Structure formats: C-alpha cells, structure tokens
Amino acid sequence: MSGAGRPKKTRYQIPRGMHDLLPEDLKYFQKIFDTCDRIASYYRFGRIETPILEQAELFTKGVGQSTDIIEKQMYALKTEGGDLLALRPEYTASVARAFIEKGMEVLSKPVKLWYFGPCFRHEKPQAGRYREFWQFGFEALGERNPVIDAQIIRLFLNILEELKLKNLMVQINSIGDPKCRAHYKKVLTRFLKSSQAGLCSDCKKRLKQNPLRTLDCKNEKCQAIISQGPQVLDYLCKECRAHFKEVLEFLDALKIPYRLNPYLVRGLDYYTKTVFEISCGNPSSELNQPLLSLVGGGRYDGLVKLLGGKDTPACGAAAGIERIADLMKEKEIKLKEEDLPKVFLVQLGNLARSKALILFEEFRKAKIPVYEAFSKDSLRAQLARADRFGVKYVLILGQKEVLEKKVILRDMKNGNQRTFRMGEIVEAVKTELKNNIK
Ligand code: AMP
C-alpha cells in the first residue's frame, strides 16, 4: 500500500510481505467497512470476529493438509506450553469452529455471519499479494438451498458496485460432492498420468496429492494438456447437477452475468458443489488469462461435520480488502470529503493556551470541528497555518482577552474582527457558520 513522504532507512524494518496501513489507506478500509456493514444489516448478517490465533489443527483439518495455504503458507508456532497454534490464513474454518463451540447449531437457520479483519499467508509477496492481508467475508450456515449461493454472489457484487468498481466478472463452477468428485478425480488422474511427462513439477506432485489443483495451474503447457482432459461438470451426480442448475437459474433471475469456468476449483479442500470467484478485468479476456481476483467462495457442506459439529450445509465467500482499496485508488474513485474545520483557534501565552485547551473541548462537545496548534507560540506561525488550512474564521485568545474573559472572532476573508464574551463564543460561531457557510 502507499506510504507518506520519502521512505526513511530505519534500524527496524517491516517484515517482508507485511505492510503498514496509513491514514490514507484506512480511509478506503473505512469506506469498505461501512459499505459491508450497511449491506450486512440489510441482508441480516451479524458480525463475528474470531481470534487471529487458532489451534493449527483447525486449519490443517478444515482447509486441508495438502493445500498450498496449509502446506506452504501457514504461519504456525509452538507456545511455551507446547500448544501448536497458527495465525489464521482465512476465516471460514474459524467461523465454523465458533458456530459449533458457541452453540449456534441450535439457532434458526441459516445462521448468517460476516467478518472484517487480517489474515496471514506466507506466500511470495508481489503486487496485490501480501503476507498479512485483510479480508471481509459473509457466511450462511445451515442452508442447502441453492438460492443462498446466488444471494451471496449478489451480495458481494452489491458491495463492489456500491464501491463504484466496474468490469466485475463472476466465474462459477461446481466441483460436486465428495462422492461424484471422487469418481471425477479417478478419471482425471488416469488422464493426467497418460500425459504426465508434459506436466510441470508442481503438477506432477499435485497428481499424487490433490489432482484437482492441476486444473488451475498457471503453466501454459499444463493448461494445454488440461484443456484436452475430462471436465468436472460432466461427472456430477444427479443431485449436484440439479443444485448447480438452480444456482445458475437464480443468477439469471437476478440478472447476474457469469462465466462457466470448468477449471475453477479454488485452493481449499472444504468446498463442495458451487465454487465461484469475482474478479475485475477486461470482460473480453480469455478464461485462462490471470485476472485480479477480488472475491473467492463457494459451498462447504461438509466442513462443520468434519470439525465435529452436526451435518450443516453452508455457503460463503471472502474478499481481499487491500486489492479492493488498491483498485479504488487506481481508478481514482473519490471518497466523500470529510467535514473539515472552518475555524482555527489561535492562543498567545501560557494562560491563553490553557483557556484555549478548555475552549477546544467545548467546541468538540458542540460538534463544531476546530483546528489548533497549541504547541506553537507565535501569532504569525499560527495564522500561517490557519491560512494553509483555508479556514473561514480565526478565534484569537491573547493575554488581554483572557483577563477580560473575551475572544476575538476574525473573518479571514474581509479581515473584520468582533469580540465576544468567552461564555458566548461557541454559540456565536455556531450561528456564524449556519448563516454564512453553505
Ligand atoms: P481465498 O481465501 O484464497 O479464497 O481468497 C479470497 C480473496 O482474498 C482473494 O480473492 C483475494 O482478493 C484475497 N487474497 C487472498 N490471498 C491474498 C494475499 N496473499 N494478499 C492479498 N489478498 C489476498
């Protein structure tokens, strides 16, 4: 993310792949948060925040031991007490854990939860890819009906559209349930073995551990081989096929354009049936061309049971907040100007400084924003600053005014000055702002 001013070489440097979030970044984060919050209350999702540290096993079991996220990217640590903990690489497993542990299984379904916070993955840092990054996500637990899958996609599009992002593209696929997927895996493995020599070294490994992951390999040679291979949609069982068909029908009803992408599998083991991604890019680009993925999600009907809960179908997705904020900056999407103060409070001398401190608090209680420079002594320095801020009024509190319990109100445009009693100045400024500033 961006920085302020010229970077300085300091003794302590930020760890690789991490980034500071500065006020100019957090303005965008706040806008994204407010938009999520508004949408969440419309769709009746309640906010949840889980700890950043969880038992490492929650993720190895939930996300899957042989996925990149767990095998290569998880930050794990052993505590002095011998517990193996991990920084969360994503939220869904934690949400499912909390759902079971906090007794949410008895609530009326679907239980709808959303979150907004940092995640950690030890991957190679590059543009739009950080080792600490923030996600927001929405999860609906306890609902099998495909209407939820479509509604979650609609909800994420609504957030991105409210943030004024354009050229959004939904890619969708179904990877079936464990039964029909097992059959597809066998057929795919047989096919890949026959072309094994042409695969990259990663895919040769994937072939043994997680053959579905070969489908979204970025290597061109692998893509050429895979494009000739069997496609998962042709191997779905009757129920999974009907479910997927209904998801697509609901998307049509909601007028959401989508692309069927038979190579979309997503890197997490818990997905079943629907998987989708929302990316931002040129709508005419090729399917295999890398697009900036903003949102990833899908159905995870087996996760809650796998983690020790009841059989609970569920669906959800998560979005990368830095990527969205970076795009908003790149596209120069304007945020609403905050209400900047129109008044500057000048003080001269120690007595006036302490009175000005009190006055500043009175303006805060009256909800009137005021600039100050309490650490400055000279009138000139303070007026120069007031000038830089472009305020309409300056309040001057000097030695004489303090003794007379008065304050000077100076109109910066015409230089007119009026004197008010200290106890009346807040009201006087309020009236002045109301009458003279549109
Ligand atoms: P995933 O949890 O892998 O499904 O990712 C969901 C979304 O999180 C992606 O579409 C990205 O927007 C974002 N994301 C995932 N990994 C990173 C990362 N390392 N840095 C920044 N954003 C990320």
Inside any domain, residue 279: yes
Residue 314 to residues 151, 237, 264, 296, 361, Cα–Cα distance (Å): 13, 19, 19, 15, 50
Distance (angstroms) between ligand 1 centre and the Cα of 278 equals 11
Residues 271 and 405 in one domain: no
Among protein residues, the one with the nearest Cα to ligand 1's atom 14 is: 320
> How far, in Å, is the centroid of ligand 1 from the Cα of 89?
9
* Confidence (pLDDT) at 205: 86
What is the per-residue pLDDT across 315-326, written as a single tens digit (0 to 9) for each?
999 999 999 999
Tell me what percent of the residues of the chain surpass a pLDDT of 90: 81
What is the C-alpha to C-alpha distance for residues 52 and 142, in angstroms, rounded to an integer? 24
Ligand 1 site, CB within 6 A = 90, 121, 123, 128-130, 133, 135, 293-296, 318-320, 322-323
The CATH number that applies at residue 319 is: 3.30.930.10
User: Which residue lies with its CA nearest to atom 15 of ligand 1?
Assistant: 320
Please check whether residue 217 lies inside any domain of the structure.
no
* 190 in any annotated domain: no
320: CA distance to ligand 1 center in Å?
A: 5
How far does the centroid of ligand 1 lie from the alpha carbon of residue 117, in Å? 12
Joined tokens for residue 286: 């090729």
Q: What is the pLDDT of residue 285?
A: 55
Residues 274 and 298 sit within 8 Å (Cβ to Cβ): yes
Question: Residue whose CA is closest, atom 18 of ligand 1?
Answer: 129
Q: How confident is the model at residue 289 (pLDDT cuts 50, 70, 90)?
A: low
Report which DSSP code applies to 334.
Answer: P
Residues 289 and 429 in one domain: no
Q: Residue 79 C-alpha to ligand 1 middle, in angstroms?
A: 27
Domain boundary among 330, 351, 378: 330
Residue 166 included in any domain: yes
357 and 246 both lie in a single domain: no
Domain that includes residue 410, residue range: 343-435
- For residues 128 and 118, is the Cβ–Cβ distance under 8 A? no
Q: How many domains does the chain have?
A: 2
Q: Report whether pLDDT(3) > 80.
A: no
Question: Do 160 and 33 reside in the same domain of the chain?
Answer: yes
Q: Do 34 and 152 lie in a common domain?
A: yes
Test site for ligand 1: of 92, 129, 159, most ligand atoms within 8 A of the Cβ: 129
Question: Whose Cα sits closest to atom 1 in ligand 1?
Answer: 296
Q: Are residues 308 and 259 in the same domain?
A: yes
Per mean pLDDT, which range of 20-34, 280-294, 333-347, 374-388 is the poorest?
A: 280-294
| DSSP 3-state of 203 | helix
Name the residue of 59, 88, 90, 135 to mutate for ligand 1: max ligand atoms within 8 A of Cβ: 135
CATH code, domain carrying 395: 3.40.50.800
Determine, yes or no, domain membership for 161.
yes
Predicted confidence (pLDDT) at residue 284 exceeds the cutoff of 80: no
Asked if residue 384 and residue 280 are part of one domain, the reply reads: no
| Alpha carbon distances (Å) from 109 to 144, 270, 301 | 10, 20, 14
List pLDDT tens digits, range 61-115: 988 887 888 888 999 999 999 999 999 999 999 999 999 999 999 999 999 999 9
Whether 320 and 357 share a structural domain = no
User: 10 Å Cβ neighbour count for 72?
Assistant: 11
Q: Residues 46, 126: one domain? A: yes
- Examine the pLDDT at 41 and tell me if it is beyond 60: yes
Q: 88, 115, 130, 133: which to mutate for ligand 1, most atoms within 8 A of CB?
A: 133
Of 296, 330, 364, the position where a domain reaches its end is: 330
Does the residue 296 lie in any domain?
Answer: yes
Average pLDDT, the chain: 93
Closest atom of ligand 1 to CA, residue 137: 6
363 with 271, same domain: the answer is no
**Final residue of a domain: which of 271, 301, 330?**
330
**378 and 307 in one domain?**
no
Average pLDDT over residues 295-306: 97
Asked whether residue 283 falls in the same domain as residue 425, the answer is no
313 Cα–ligand 1 center, Å: 23
pLDDT in tens, 110-137: 999 999 999 999 999 988 899 999 999 9
Ligand 1 pocket: which of 295, 300, 321, 326 to mutate (most atoms <8 Å of CB)? 295
Ligand 1: residue whose CA is nearest its atom 23 = 320
**Residue pair 56/86 in contact by the 8 Å Cβ criterion:** yes
Within its chain, how far is the Cα of 93 from the centroid?
17
Residue 43 resides in a domain: yes
> Which residue has its alpha carbon closest to ligand 1 atom 6?
296
Residue 28 resides in a domain: yes
Return the residue whose CA atom lies nearest to atom 11 of ligand 1. 320
**Residue whose CA is closest, atom 2 of ligand 1?**
90
| Euclidean distance between CA atoms 361 and 371, whole angstroms | 12
Mean pLDDT confidence for 235-257: 97
Q: Whose CA is nearest to atom 13 of ligand 1?
A: 320
